[in-house]
Chain A
Amino acid sequence: MKRWKQSELVPVQVELNGVQRRGLCEPRVLLSDFLRDTLGATGTHVGCETGECGACTIRVDGVAQRSCLTLAVQADGRCIETVEGLAQADGSLCELQHALRERFALQCGFCIPGILMTCAEMLKRRPLPEDEQIPGLLAGHLCRCTGYTDLLAAVRHTVAEVRRREAAHPASAPSVGVHDA
């Protein structure tokens, strides 16, 4: 059992995009606020804080979930991936990010960090989804700008690229449009 008083500053350690990070926070601090305010990782956006909009979606131990519905203290010892971890070390965009840019699939960009993290998990688990499954990928996300059409087109494009590569080199396992952080 671990017990922390309400005003106690609790040490929380996470692996954030491959780097060990530590911070102190009260037990009531949301993981989304801990990432943004304590660790300075502001790529993760915060919209509704009730789980509805999906902007704050991150991966915890590889699984996509809402960082606004998790306490920072609950994430102690976990491995966290956020949108900052998607681009390659040299700063070049991952395939899905690139497709979004090429297809003008983002406007204000507020919803995008969450959408990318959901797609990262889904495409990792199932690199070649059936076409009719693709709209379902975005079911947990709200976007006020794009009308979703271009977002879906970008995901479809990424999946088609993976499929094309696989057809050209069938021996290699399908590589995911979003590489691992």
Chain B
Amino acid sequence: MKPAPFEYVRIDHPDELSALLTEHGPEAAVLAGGQSLMPILNLRLRRPRVLLDLSRCRALHDLTPTSGGLQIGAAVTQATVLSWPRLAHQVPLLALALPHVGNPQIRSRGTLCGSLAHAHPQAELPLCLAALDGEIVLRSQRGERRIAAADFFIAAQKTACRPDEYIAQAHIPCQSIDEGSAFLEVAVRVTGQAQVACAAIAGPHRLRLAVLAGQATPQVHDYPLLPEADLRDQLDIIARSLALSCASADDDAYRRQLVVSLGLNALKQAQRARDRRAAVDAQIMEHRR
């Protein structure tokens, strides 16, 4: 098995990428970590004429903390993000979710931006970007535009990225210190695609739940601090409204059940994490006094 023939370009500078995308448009494919694109090429599901490999482009390798968050370049691998020492402190949700993406041999090459570009409905990282109100910077010869996660994911594997554009970087806002996070997933194989995954963030006054259960794009739900019974009702509504197309009605029912139980557990875990963080903070304040 081999990919169909293509011209290969190793990009050294971002301007080269913009120029070649303008020149070749939909006939070109951007190659980042290749952990989704290479299987597609090997199976000949796509036959791009030109492959634009950005993985050795130095300018796209930056992982930069900014005042409000984390700026992640197109060539930054999932492994690099996961091993960033301050990740668990600054964006705990991402630190909890990343270990669910494939396995270490996949994450060592797969990029965070590549996963966003691929926009697979079962992928964890688009879900996290949506839950965290992240943004994506799209670049072309026409200039740069910054787009919110909610507007970026249009349908399954369809994004706002136009044929002459590429994702230059993703912006992930830091989570506030008074928030707690949880990420729960059920997959047939630990390293495989999620059947259902839930990302929960609990703040002092609100709860957020992002649900991945086979819908085309990430779904984010915001709630006030509700008692458990009311949250369960809300989750029942989500579960019932899912348009599922599993192999059997049993699978559909199982998935709906998972949404309720994982969602509820994720929200509870996130609230416990928030309360633990608050307790530690209170101790530190006490100590200083």
Contacts and interface: CB of A to CB of B under 8 A. Distances in A.
A95 to B, nearest CB: 21
A65 B35 CA distance: 10
Contacts of A3: 7-10
B57 to A, nearest CB: 10
Interface stretch (B103-111, B162-170, B222-230): B103-111
Contacts of B102: 140
Interface in A126-159: 136, 139-140
A177 interface: no
B191 to A, nearest CB: 5
A65 B104 CA distance: 8
Interface in A20-71: 26-30, 33, 49-51, 54, 57, 63-66, 68-71
Interface residues of A, number: 34
A2 B9 contact: yes
B109 A69 contact: yes
B4 interface: yes
A5 interface: yes
A26 B2 CA distance: 11
B55 interface: yes
Contact of A1 (B5, B7, B9): B9
B221 interface: no
Contact of A65 (B12, B39, B51, B105): B105
Contact of B104 (A5, A10, A64, A69): A64
Contact of A64 (B2, B11, B105): B105
A73 interface: yes
Contact of B42 (A4, A50, A64): A50
Contacts of A29: 2
B190 interface: yes
A71 B79 CA distance: 20
Given A50-B39, A69-B34, A74-B55, A5 B7 contact: yes
A5 B2 CA distance: 16
B43 A28 contact: no
Contacts of B124: none
A37 B2 CA distance: 13
B206 to A, nearest CB: 35
A51 B191 CA distance: 11
B210 to A, nearest CB: 24
A5 B43 CA distance: 21
Could you say which of A27, A51, A136 has the most chain B C-beta atoms within 10 Å of its C-beta? A51
Interface of chain B, helix or strand or loop or mixed?
loop
B7 A30 contact: no
Contact of B35 (A2, A51, A71): A51
A5 B50 CA distance: 9
A116 to B, nearest CB: 13
Contact of A66 (B11, B56, B79, B105): B105
Contacts of B51: 27
A30 to B, nearest CB: 7
Nearest to B191: A139
B186 interface: no
A11 B38 CA distance: 21
A28 B5 contact: yes
A118 B13 CA distance: 33
Contact of A49 (B1, B16, B34): B1
B191 A140 contact: yes
A1 B58 CA distance: 12
B179 interface: no
B42 A1 contact: no
Interface string A58-98: 00000111101111011000000000000000000000000
Given A66-B109, A140-B105, A140-B106, 10 more contacts: A2-B9, A2-B10, A3-B8, A3-B10, A4-B7, A5-B7, A27-B8, A30-B38, A64-B104, A65-B105
24 contacts: A2-B12, A3-B7, A3-B9, A4-B7, A27-B5, A27-B7, A27-B51, A28-B3, A30-B38, A49-B1, A49-B39, A50-B43, A57-B105, A64-B105, A65-B108, A68-B38, A69-B38, A70-B38, A71-B8, A71-B38, A74-B10, A74-B34, A118-B104, A136-B190
Interface of A: 1-7, 10, 26-30, 33, 49-51, 54, 57, 63-66, 68-71, 73-74, 118, 122, 136, 139-140
